[in-house]
Amino acid sequence: MTAPSTHTTKPATGIAALLKTAVINALIALVLFSLMVGIRTEAGSDGQLTYWTRFGELASLVAAVFGGSIVIELLRQWIGPAGTERLVPPALQKGVSLVGRYLAPALLIFTLLVPVIFYNQRYILDLAILVLTYVMLGWGLNVVVGLAGLLDLGYVAFYAVGAYSYALLATNFGWSFWICLPLAGILAAFWGVLLGFPVLRLRGDYLAIVTLAFGEIIRLVLINWQDLTGGPNGVSGIPRPTLFGIPLDRSDDGLAAKLGIEYSATHRIVFLFYLILALALLTNWATIRLRRLPIGRAWEALREDEVACRALGINTTTTKLTAFATGAMFGGFAGAFFATRQGFISPESFTFQESALVLAIVVLGGMGSQLGVALAALAMIGGFELFRGLETYRMLVFGWAMVLIMIWRPRGLVGHRAPTVYLKKAQAISSDLVKEGHG
Amino acid sequence: MDYFAQQLINGLVLGSIYGLIAIGYTMVYGIVGMINFAHGDVFMIGGFIALITFLILISLGLTAIPLILLVVLLVSMAITALYGWTIERIAYRPLRHSFRLAPMLSAIGMSFVLTNYSQVAQGARVKPIPPFITGGHTLHESPDGFVIQLSNIQIMVVITTIVLLAIFTWLVSSTRLGRDMRACEQDQTMAALLGVNVDRTISMTFVIGAALAAVAGLMYLLYYGLVDFFMGFVAGIKAFTAAVLGGIGSLPGAMLGGLAIGLIETFWSAYFSVEYKDVAAFSILIVVLIFMPTGLLGRPEVEKV
C-alpha cells in the first residue's frame, strides 16, 4: 500500500515540505502495517495460534512508502496541478486519429492470422482463446454498462447460466453444442429479464448491489443444489464441440479422417479459437447494428439522462430490460463456449471476482468503445498472465489497478467515441462531457 | 417455544454485529452518496487487528481479561479507523467530483486490495482463538431438557453495541462534528460556505464508520472464535442489506435493519436450511429494494434534474 500524500490541494514546495509529507506518510504506513505485516499469525497443528515477528518486511514496506511518496510528490510537481489543459500538437493528434482509424482493422486481421502464426505454440493459442472469451464478455457487458449505463455487478451469473445450461443439456440429454448454444443464450436472456423486470426501476448503485446479490444467489444455488448441478464438484465430461456434427477427434468420422489429413490435437484448439472469434464478432456486430436502431439510441439516451428520456416518452423499463436481456444473452453464449472449451465447470469459476474483472475491462476500455474493450481485455488478461507465478499477489495488483485507473483515467483508456447520431458532421464526443445515466 | 427463544437471542446478537457494520455503510451513503464497498473488508481488518493484539497481550503475560479486552478494543478501533481514513484519502477523495460510478468501482478495487492484502500478510488459513469469555446463564429449562442459554459473550456483545450506539447517537446529535455531518449530508456546498470543513467531516465519517466496524470485528472474533481473510465480503453485503432494509442514510434504521437481518438469518438457519441462509439474506435485499426502496425508516428520495 502506498500512503496518501497529505497535500492534495496545495502542492508542497521545497525539500523540507517534501520530506515532511514523506515522513508523515511513512508514519501512517508504520501504524497501518505494524500489526498486519509486522506480526504473522498462524494456527499450529494443535489448533493453537502462534505468531512471529517480521520487522524486516515492515521496515522495507515503510521505506517503500517513504520513497514512493517522495517520487509521487516530485511527479506531481513536475506534471503540474490537476486540471491543467495540456495541448496536444496537431500533428500528433492527426497521427493518433490515423492510428485509431486503422487500428481496428489491423487488429482484426492480426487476430484472424493468430492460429496461422502461432500454430505450434499451444500456450499462445490458449491464451488467445482466453482473451477472446473476455473480449466477448466485455462486449456483452458493454451493452448493459457502456450503452445503457446500468451498473451490473452480477454479470457472471448469466455466464454461469449459459455454462450450466449447455453442460446440463449436453450431459443429460446428449444435445449437440449447436442446439445448446442458442438455448444457453435464450435461457440467460430469460434470467436477465426475470431479474431485470423487478429491479430495473432502481437507481444506479442500488441496481449494482442487487445484481451483485443475484450473482451470489446463483452461485450459492449452484453450490447447494447438488442433485442438479453436482454442487462444488461441478459438472464434468462436457462434450467437446463439433463442426456441425463432425467431431474433431481421432476417430474415423473425425474431421481429420474425412479431410484425409493427419490428426493433430491443435485442430480442436484452432477450431475453438475461430469459434470464440466468431461469437465475439457476432456480439460486436450485433451491438454496432443495435446502436443504429431506435432501441440502441434509446439505450444511449437513457445513459445520458433518464429523466429527459422519460419526458420524451421512452419507456425506460422496457429499454433497460432489452439492454439487460441482450447483455445477458451474450453472456450466456460465452458461458456455453466456456463450458465446451473447459469440459468441466464448477461454481468456483463464477465468483464475484469474475464479474469485477469483466466490469474492469469495460470500464478500462472506456465504457461504450468497442475497440477500447478489446484492448482492455488484452491488457487485463495479458497482465494477469504476467503475474501467473505470483498467484496471491495478482488480485492485489488487480485491485490496485482498478483504484488507480479510476483515479488516473476514470473514463478509461479510449475516452473518446464517435456519436451514433449527428447533424451534418460527426464530431468526437469527449467522454468528459458524457454523464452516465443514473437509472 | 424454548427453541424459538434461544434462536431469538442468537439472532439479536448476530444482528448487533451486522448493525454495527451497517452504520458505517449508512453514514457514508448519507454524506457522500456512495456505497463504500470496501467497508466489509474494513470489518475484516478490524477482526484481524483484534486477533493480533490479543496474541501479543497474552504472550506479554497479561491475565486480567477486562484489561485485555479494553486494550484490544482501543487498539483495533484506532488502527482500523486509520485504515478507514487512508482508504478515503487514497481511493475516494480524488473521485469525489467524478462521475457516479467511479467511486463505486474504486471501492470495489479497494475491497480486492484489502482482502488480498490480508491474505498475503496473514495467510489464507482460518485463524482460531481459544474462548476468552466463558460461562453463561441458564434462563429457562424446559421439562424435556432443552435449555435456553445466555452466554456472557452474548451479553457483552449486546451491551457493547448499546453503549456504542448511545455514544454515537450523542455524537451525531449534540456535538459540533455531528452537526457538521448532518449539514454535509444536506448540502455540501452550502455547508462549506457556512464554514464547515467538508473534507475533514467526510474523513471523520469514514473514521467513525471504520472504528465501529472494528468493534464489530472484535465482537465477531469473540463470538465465533475465528477470523479469516474472506469474511468481509459476505458480512459486508449482509450489513449493506441491513442498511438498505432500515432505510439508507438513517442511523437507527441501520441498527434496526441489522437486527432484522440477524434474526431472519438465524431463524432461517434454525427452521429451514443452513445452506441457503445467505440466499435468504440476499433475497431479502432484492425484495426490499423492489417493494420498499426507502426501507423501514428512510426518507423517500426526490429526483432532481
- Phi, psi (degrees; rounded to nearest 5) at A405: -60, -40
CA–CA separation, B18 and B238 (whole Å): 7
Do A425 and A394 share a domain, yes or no? yes
Rounded to the nearest angstrom, the minimum Cα separation between B68 and chain A is 16
For A:197-216, CB contacts with B below 8 A are 198-199, 201-206, 208-210, 212-214, 216
Do A252 and A320 share a domain, yes or no? yes
A217 contacts B279? CB cut-off 8 A:
yes
**Chain B CB within 8 Å of residue A174 CB:** no
- Chain A positions touching B59 (Cβ under 8 A) are 51
Domain definitions of chain B by residue range: 25-230
Q: Which residue of B has its CA nearest to A307?
A: B305
How many CB pairs below 8 Å do chains A and B form together?
196
Whether the predicted pLDDT of B85 surpasses 90:
yes
Nearest to A435 among B51, B94, B99 (CB): B99
Which three three-digit cell numbers place residue A156?
A: 457472471
- Residue A95 domain-assigned? no
Nearest to B112 among A205, A356, A406 (CB): A356
**Burial classification of residue B283, based on how many CB atoms lie within 10 Å of its CB (0-12 exposed, 13-18 middle, 19 or more buried):** middle
- Chain B positions touching A399 (Cβ under 8 A) are 109-116
The neighbour count for residue A68, using CB atoms within 10 Å, is 18
Angle at which helix A90-117 crosses helix A266-292, to 10 degrees, equals 140
Rounded to the nearest angstrom, the minimum Cα separation between B106 and chain A is 5
Higher pLDDT residue, A413 or B45?
Answer: B45
Higher pLDDT residue, A408 or A27?
Answer: A27
Q: What is the pLDDT of residues B26-63, one digit of tens each?
A: 888 888 888 888 999 999 999 999 999 988 888 888 77
Do A36 and A150 share a domain, yes or no? no
pTM of the model: 0.85
Rounded to the nearest angstrom, the minimum Cα separation between A108 and chain B is 30
Q: How many angstroms separate the Cα of A421 from the Cα of each of A236, A286, A418, A426, B219?
A: 48, 17, 9, 8, 57
Q: Which residue of A has its CA nearest to B293?
A: A202
CA–CA separation, A159 and A331 (whole Å): 5
What confidence category does residue A149 fall into, taking pLDDT thresholds of 50, 70 and 90?
confident
Which three three-digit cell numbers place residue A329?
A: 444473452
Complete DSSP assignment for chain B: -HHHHHHHHHHHHHHHHHHHHHHHHHHHHHHH-S--TTHHHHHHHHHHHHHHHHHHHHHTT---HHHHHHHHHHHHHHHHHHHHHHHIIIIIGGGTTS-THHHHHHHHHHHHHHHHHHHHHH-SS-EE---SS--EEEEEE-TTS-EEEEEHHHHHHHHHHHHHHHHHHHHHHHSHHHHHHHHHHH-HHHHHHTT--HHHHHHHHHHHHHHHHHHHHHHHHHHHSEE-TTHHHHHHHHHHHHHHHH-TT-HHHHHHHHHHHHHHHHHHHHHT-STTHHHHHHHHHHHHHHH-TTTTTPPPPPP--
The H or E element containing residue A250 is none
A49 contacts B128? CB cut-off 8 A:
yes
**Chain B CB within 8 Å of residue A39 CB:** yes
Strands A429-430 and B127-128: unpaired
Rounded to the nearest angstrom, the minimum Cα separation between B33 and chain A is 9
**3-state secondary structure (DSSP) of residue A218:** helix
Rg of chain A over CA atoms, in angstroms? 25
CA–CA separation, B1 and A439 (whole Å): 46
CA–CA separation, B19 and B216 (whole Å): 9
Angle at which helix A177-199 crosses helix A316-342, to 10 degrees, equals 140
* pLDDT computed for residue A160 by the predictor: 93
Nearest to B305 among A201, A307, A395 (CB): A307
Rounded to the nearest integer, the mean pLDDT of chain B is: 87
* pLDDT computed for residue B95 by the predictor: 87
Q: What is the pLDDT of residues B243-294, one digit of tens each?
A: 888 888 888 889 999 999 999 999 988 888 888 888 888 888 888 877 877 7
**Chain B CB within 8 Å of residue A35 CB:** yes
**Chain B CB within 8 Å of residue A436 CB:** yes
CA–CA separation, B65 and A351 (whole Å): 41
Q: What is the pLDDT of residues A39-68, one digit of tens each?
A: 888 877 776 778 888 888 889 999 999 999
Per the CB < 8 A criterion, the answer to whether A329 and A188 are in contact is yes
Q: Which residue of A has its CA nearest to B76?
A: A35
Rounded to the nearest angstrom, the minimum Cα separation between B282 and chain A is 5
- Chain B positions touching A401 (Cβ under 8 A) are 109
- Chain B positions touching A1 (Cβ under 8 A) are 86, 113, 117
- Residue A36 domain-assigned? yes
Mean pLDDT value across residues A110-121: 80
Distance between the two ends of chain A, CA-based, in angstroms? 34
Mean pLDDT value across residues B143-152: 80
B59 contacts A436? CB cut-off 8 A:
no
Nearest to B289 among A202, A398, A438 (CB): A202
Whether the predicted pLDDT of B89 surpasses 50:
yes
Beta bridge pairs of residue A417 = A429
Do A63 and A159 share a domain, yes or no? no
CA–CA separation, A60 and A33 (whole Å): 11
- Residue A260 domain-assigned? yes
Distance between the two ends of chain B, CA-based, in angstroms? 53
* pLDDT computed for residue A434 by the predictor: 46
- Residue A85 domain-assigned? no
B289 contacts A199? CB cut-off 8 A:
yes
Do A231 and A309 share a domain, yes or no? yes
CA–CA separation, A276 and A252 (whole Å): 26
Interface test with A, best of B110, B277, B282, B304 (most A CBs within 10 A): B282
What confidence category does residue A8 fall into, taking pLDDT thresholds of 50, 70 and 90?
very low
Do A281 and A369 share a domain, yes or no? yes
The neighbour count for residue A130, using CB atoms within 10 Å, is 18
**3-state secondary structure (DSSP) of residue A225:** coil
Interface test with A, best of B99, B234, B278 (most A CBs within 10 A): B99
Higher pLDDT residue, B51 or A118?
Answer: B51
CA–CA separation, A328 and A187 (whole Å): 9
B55 contacts A49? CB cut-off 8 A:
yes
- Chain B positions touching A224 (Cβ under 8 A) are 275-276, 279
- Residue A111 domain-assigned? yes
- Residue A92 domain-assigned? no
| Nearest CA among B21, B27, B16 for reference residue B249 | B27
Q: How many angstroms separate the Cα of A117 from the Cα of each of A120, A121, A255, A268?
A: 8, 9, 22, 16
A36 contacts B122? CB cut-off 8 A:
yes
* pLDDT computed for residue A330 by the predictor: 94
Reported ipTM: the value is 0.86
**Domain coverage including residue A162:** 100-430
Q: What is the pLDDT of residues A218-263, one digit of tens each?
A: 898 899 888 888 878 888 888 887 777 677 766 766 776 667 677 7
**3-state secondary structure (DSSP) of residue A42:** strand
Rounded to the nearest angstrom, the minimum Cα separation between B229 and chain A is 12
Nearest to B49 among A28, A35, A198 (CB): A35
Beta bridge pairs of residue A39 = A53
Do A286 and A336 share a domain, yes or no? yes
Compute the residue count for chain A: 439
Domains in chain A: how many in total? Answer: 2
Q: What is the pLDDT of residues B189-208, one digit of tens each?
A: 899 999 899 999 999 999 99
Spell out where A82-140 has E strands: none
Per the CB < 8 A criterion, the answer to whether B218 and B73 are in contact is yes
**Chain B CB within 8 Å of residue A232 CB:** no
**3-state secondary structure (DSSP) of residue A169:** helix
Whether the predicted pLDDT of A146 surpasses 50:
yes
Q: Which residue of A has its CA nearest to B98?
A: A410
Do A265 and A334 share a domain, yes or no? yes
**Burial classification of residue B50, based on how many CB atoms lie within 10 Å of its CB (0-12 exposed, 13-18 middle, 19 or more buried):** buried
